Amino acid sequence: MENTFNGKMDKLIVHFVGNKNNGEGVRFSSDETVFETVEEHFSLLVNNSFNFEELYCFHFLPTVELNPVYQFVKSIFEDKLTFVEQTQNCGRILYDKSTHPKIKGGELQVAYFKGCVINEKTVDAIGFFKSENKETFLKVLTSKVGFDIESEIGIAVKKFDKGCLIFNTKEKDGYLVSVIDNTNRGDEAQYWKDEFLGLKPIANEFHQTNAFLGIAKNFVTKQLSEDFEVSKADKIDLLNRSVNYFKTHESFDKEEFEQDVFQDAGIIKSFQNFDSIYREDNNLELAHSFEISPEAVKKQAKVFKSVLKLDKNFHIYIHGSRDLIEQGIENDGRKFYKIYYKDES
């Protein structure tokens, strides 16, 4: 059953959380926000912003009970009368983590939803949404002689900048959480998911597929040429084989993948060493066999580059057999690729 958000908003509150490093401060609401006139737009925002294939849970060592946001959320689920107080506590934690100079201040909106469906189970959910980027809107006003137009700055209703939905299920395991961050991609991106919320991926089919394809991509693009003399065309061929394995199989087997994709014993050994170090450095726990997630394959395939760039003159897109392209050098030193094909379109 596909997870889609269909919860009914029950509570909403808005706080302002600035950048602590810049001394912007916080401003907390002391009462809940009236939301009836914006509920439809808010629900649309949630539906447009989240997907529920890749799920997370709260995490902290040695125990999740020490995660402060987890405790504040747990308190709300246990007693909704603490909603205002606990959202203020969450705002304080967010402010303490908002120290990177690139982090923008913005409104922290916290909502309580009833009747959400996740993994075929109906539960309540709490949503945290932070709006950092504003858009300019033109407002048309009626006047005695016609119409006037004035500009207003507000929150866009297309997608949230940052957000998470915490579903009241699997409490002892850190709940089920969907998270988004559409604004930050550098070091500052860690503050929302890792430092404020303290989340780790749940090891489901999506996570396993996504993570292993990421390992294969990093090995081919970053490590392979350090251990072997390999052409760009050969790298692209290995990337294509990696994606094609996941596209043509319903389940993953690590040994089978290595034999089908890398084939050469030396490259397989190099990959196994890289895989082991990569998992340890990134704290990844992956099984050697699992069911493949088509959604994760689709996501990762977008970042697997199959373009061979030759100076500034040519781009060759390689999607098929490596046997149909040959590389060589002329007597005068010029490099060339010879391409074989049957039909021209």
pLDDT, the chain, mean? 86
**Predicted pLDDT of residue 305:** 65
What share of the chain in percent tops pLDDT 70?
Answer: 85
DSSP lists the bridge partners of residue 113 as: 9, 125
Euclidean distance between CA atoms 246 and 264, whole angstroms: 19
**Predicted pLDDT of residue 140:** 83
Task: Calculate the CA 6 to chain-centre distance.
Answer: 21
Structure tokens given for 101: 């100079």
Least confident of 139-143, 209-213, 226-230, 275-279: 139-143
Q: Evaluate if residue 330 carries a pLDDT over 80.
A: no
Mean pLDDT value across residues 76-103: 96
Vertex 110: Cα angle to 79 and 88 (nearest 5): 70
Q: Evaluate if residue 308 carries a pLDDT over 60.
A: no
Q: Evaluate if residue 27 carries a pLDDT over 70.
A: yes
**Are 174 and 57 within 8 A, CB to CB?**
yes
Q: Evaluate if residue 271 carries a pLDDT over 90.
A: yes
Dihedral over alpha carbons 169, 174, 176, 177 (to 10 degrees): 140
DSSP E strands in 143-281: the ranges are: 147-155, 162-167, 176-181, 199-201, 251-253
Least confident of 111-125, 176-190, 241-255, 297-311: 297-311
Of 90, 85, 87, 131, which is closest to residue 112 (Cα–Cα)?
A: 87
Write the single-letter amino acid at 130: K
Q: Evaluate if residue 329 carries a pLDDT over 90.
A: no
Task: Calculate the CA 112 to chain-centre distance.
Answer: 23
Return phi, psi of residue 260, to 5°.
-70, -40
The helix (H) or strand (E) run that includes residue 62 is: none
